[in-house]
Amino acid sequence: MHVEEPTTVVQAVNYVLMSLFVLGFAGGFITNALILWRTKSMVLLPEERSLRSGEGKGRQFSRLTPFFIDGRFRRLRLAMACSVGLSVCSFALMLLVDGLLK
């Protein structure tokens, strides 16, 4: 089967979509770091040091729960959704452009 050489416009579109994918991925990574930092779910607090390992991990995980409920994390939830959406959409469009060329 004959595969045509992509034109410069198609290559430019692919580069833009790849850039958007990387931007969305980096945004999701940074947003995850902010979520873990603000909820302190990666930190073992001093009063938890005397607990058993399972109890300490359980309390760390329970500190993450307000992210899904509390209104003060609304912007972080929105940033996370936008980052994931940007990555998924740009990846899907890259596949679509690649599929149309073949």
pLDDT tens by residue, 20-63: 999 999 999 999 999 988 888 877 777 777 878 788 778 777 88
CA 61 to chain centre: 19
Q: Is 40 left (phi over 0), alpha (psi -120 to 50) or beta?
A: left
Q: Return the structure tokens found at 84.
A: 């994931």
DSSP 8-state code for residue 40: T
pTM of the shown model = 0.77
Amino acid at 41: S
